[in-house]
Amino acid sequence: MERNNHYIIFIAGIFFLWGCRAPQQIVQPRTPEPEATYQYFLIDSILQYGLDHEVLYTMCGDIKPMSSLVSFSFPIANADTVSSVRRDIVNREEQGVWLDRLYEIQQALNKVSLPDLRFIMSPYRASYSGDRIMQVNVIRVSALDSLLKAQESFFGQFGLIPGTDPAIVLNTIEFNDRYERLRGYGYLFGYPDYAIDFFVKAFHESDSTGEFVERNFFQIPVYSNEEGYFVYAYPKDHMPTAHVDSVIYYKAGKILKQYEEVRHRYLNPDSTLRSYELLNERLHK
C-alpha cells in the first residue's frame, strides 16, 4: 500500500534499495569499534533514513500514525511446504549467524527511547524462497490511540482499542486477510479515508476482473525527494480537495520546513546525521 522505498539491510555490510525504483547497492562495512558504538551507528543510520523520508511525519508529527522504516531479509524461513509440520526448521550451524544478527538489530532498537514512539521489528506474513523479511516500523502511540478510536468500526472487530500494545495492532493487521490488511495499513499509514476506500475497492476489482484500475497519485514532498515516498492513490475522476488533501500537504510541509531548518546543526563531518540526538532534543522540547 505504501509506495515508499524500503531498505533490505544485510548487517554484514550490503544495503539493497528495493521498491518502485531500480535496485541500488551501498556498501556499509561493519565498524571495528565496540559493540555499543556500532549499535548507535546503526540506530543513527536507520533514523537518518527515516527523517529524510516520510517517516519524518511519524517521528516529528502525527500525520502518519505509523511509517515503515527499514526491512531486513534473512534466509531463515521454511522453504519446504511439505515439511511445514516439522519442529526443527532453523539449523543453528547453518543459519544461526542470521539469528545472531537479528539479535544485534533488536538489541539496538531496544536502546531507542523517544517520547511517544515505538520501534517494532516484526516478520512479514509471507516468506520468499526461504527468506524471511523483518520489517521495522515506527508508531506514534498517541496517534495510534486516536486512530483506533476514530476508526473503531473497523479496528473494533479485532478487539483493537485505544491502549492496545502497538505491536499487537501491527501484527493483527499484517496477519489478516488481504483486503482487511490493505485497509488496516491504509489507516496506519495516515492516508485519507476516500483514498483507502478507493485502493481497497480497486484491488478487489482487479482481483475479480484481472484488469488494472487506473488511478492518479497525490504526492507529498519529503527531504530527499519531491515525489515517490509519501504518496497515495486516488480515482482518475477525483479532484483533490482543500479540506482533506491540502490539509495533509500543508501540515506535512510545516514539519518538513522545521526539519530543514535544524538538520544542518546535527551533521557530522562525513555528512552523516546525529539522528538520535536530533530527535531526542527536538522531541523533549
pLDDT at 15: 28
Categorize the per-residue pLDDT at 2 as very low, low, confident or very high, splitting at 50, 70 and 90: very low
With beta carbons less than 8 A apart as the criterion, state whether 36 and 231 touch.
no
What pLDDT does residue 83 have?
63
Q: Is the Cβ–Cβ distance between 77 and 130 less than 8 Å? A: yes
Has residue 116 got a pLDDT over 60?
A: yes
pLDDT 10s digits, 165-202:
999 999 999 999 999 999 999 999 999 999 999 999 99
* Rg of the chain in Å (alpha carbons): 20
Most confident of 4-8, 22-26, 35-39, 114-118: 114-118
Q: 9 or 242: whose pLDDT is higher?
A: 242
157-163-165-169 Cα dihedral, nearest 10 degrees: 30
User: How crowded is the C-beta side of 150, counted as CA atoms within 13 Å?
Assistant: 13
Range 110-137 average pLDDT? 94
Share of the chain above pLDDT 90, in %: 78
The pTM of this model reads 0.86
Instruction: Determine the residue type at 245.
Output: D
pLDDT of residue 284: 61
**pLDDT at residue number 76:** 94
Evaluate whether 276 touches 43 at the Cβ level (below 8 Å).
Answer: yes
pLDDT band of 143, cuts 50, 70, 90: very high
Over 70: is that where the pLDDT of 13 sits?
no
Spatial contact of 111 and 39, defined as CB atoms under 8 Å apart? yes
pLDDT tens digits along 18-44: 223 323 322 233 443 456 788 889 999
Which three three-digit cell numbers place residue 265?
A: 546543526
Query: Which carries the bigger pLDDT value, residue 76 or residue 282?
Result: 76
HSE (side-chain half, CA atoms, 13 Å) at 111? 17
Three-state SS annotation for the chain: CCCCCEEEECCCCEEEEECCCCCEEEECCCCCCCHHHHHHHHHHHHHHHHHHCCCHHHHCCCCCCEEEEEEEEECCCCCCHHHCCCCCCCCHHHHHHHHHHHHHHHHHHHCCCCCCEEEEEEECCCCECCEEEEEEEEEEHHHHHHHHHHCHHHHHHHCCCCCCCHHHHHHHHHCCCHHHHHHHHHHHCCCCHHHHHHHHHHHHHHHHHCCCCCEEEEEEEECCEEEEEEEEEEECCCCCCHHHHHHHHHHHHHHHHHHHHHHHHHECCCCCECHHHHHHHHHCC
User: In a 10 Å sphere around its CB, with 0-12 CB exposed, 13-18 middle and 19+ buried, how is residue 123 labelled?
Assistant: middle
